[in-house]
Amino acid sequence: MVRDTDGNEGGGFEFSIMNSGVPDDRIMTLTAGVSTVDFVNFYGASLNMNTNEVIGITNLEITSFLSFNGATNTLNITPDAGGLTFNVPTGDTFEFSINATTEMTLSSTLLTMGSGNSIVLSGGTLQTFGSTTSVGGDANGLRLNSPSGTQVRILIDSTFEYDFLATEANFRGNNLLDVPQILDSNGNELLIFTTTASAVNELTLVNAATATPVELQATGGDTDVDVQFTPKGTGTFYGNRETWSWPLTDETTAPTTGVKYTTEPAPYDMSIEDAIAGLTTAGTGAALWTIDVLKEDSVNADTFTTIFSTLPTIDASEFTSTTAATPPVISVSTWEKGRRLQLSISTLDTDGLARGSKISLLTHATAK
């Protein structure tokens, strides 16, 4: 309701417009029965009302900068090339109040907040309407910056999942905190982390250059740190190399050719990587000390076939097959669970001096 200076209601009154405290020569007139008015080219002036007084505005235009369309309830602000600035006195708050059933869109190339200021969403959430929320950066990417000594945190409700999709994601100079697990591309558990209160030791994965092994190291505050692999239930840990060694003769008795030893059945499937023959006393002469390893053809078959295409030999006056002029060649590298091996001496040295024959196999597990 609009009243004159005497407190009277209704139309037919004229009001002076003040421009920066100086009366303006333009006059606003409210005629009888008119509750709303149009303002056109209303700039450089102020409209003052006492508390609880209301003026309904149908259309308002201040040059080409600000316009209000009462028919569509639209307020249009068109800034010039210098942009649009909202200045708020120190200690005051600048607020947008949006009806809960409507949306608000801020479209801008750059949205900046001064030092110490913030954008606060009070009593609600920030969300998009649709399946995708997109946040774009410039050619240098998108960055979340915080003052030195403070943290940037993205907090996600524990009942929701979240994805970081990028060709390359870099986390530099900081830690990933409270990550319970890592999932594969199908959403299945790949690696699960379990915490220990006041932990001082940990595992460190070290990458490697060409021809250098990758390392999984035990590191931490303690001087000596053990590593324990714990299978689930009755499971077995596979992968470490194992060495199997057997004597074919004693240390002093003159040996003879033929099968000298039959091993126990293999406890699990293995791959044979290498075979090394050895002697306590070296042989001499042109004929070289030669041994053979034969694998059972099937479980309980009691027939055996060599695993070599070239048998291990020990050259004259030497103690190991590792320095032989002709190295052994393994043609059958699998040793299946339940099968046995036969260990045999194929050839004696010319002078019959060799003593203390042995054979070692280097293997690794491939399955139970």
Position 117 pLDDT exceeds 70: no
Give the residue with greater pLDDT, 13 vs 162.
162
The single-letter code of the amino acid at 178 is: D
59 token code pair: 């259309």
Q: How confident is the model at residue 68 (pLDDT cuts 50, 70, 90)?
A: low
Q: Is the pTM of this model over 0.75?
A: no
Q: Give the integer Cα–Cα distance in Å for 71 and 46.
A: 24
Position 81 pLDDT exceeds 90: no
Q: In the prediction, which pLDDT does 231 show? A: 84
Among 339, 297, 291, 289, smallest CA distance to 315 is for 289
Mean pLDDT of 336-357: 96
Pick left, alpha or beta for residue 319 (phi over 0 → left; psi -120 to 50 → alpha; otherwise beta). Answer: alpha
Q: In the prediction, which pLDDT does 42 show? A: 46
Q: How far is CA 209 from CA 175, 204, 215, 219, 271, in A?
A: 25, 17, 11, 21, 27
Q: Radius of gyration over alpha carbons of the chain, in Å?
A: 44
Q: In the prediction, which pLDDT does 241 show? A: 82
Give 313-329 pLDDT, tens digit per residue: 999 999 999 999 999 99
Q: How far is CA 108 from CA 28, 76, 83, 111, 136, in A?
A: 36, 15, 10, 6, 12
In sequence order, what are the beta bridge partners of 28?
Answer: 15
Q: In the prediction, which pLDDT does 253 show? A: 94
Map out the domains of the chain with their CATH numbers: 1-98 (no CATH), 241-365 (2.60.120.340)
72 token code pair: 């569509």
Q: In the prediction, which pLDDT does 112 show? A: 53
**Least confident segment among 14-23, 245-254, 281-290:** 14-23
Mean pLDDT, the chain, integer: 75
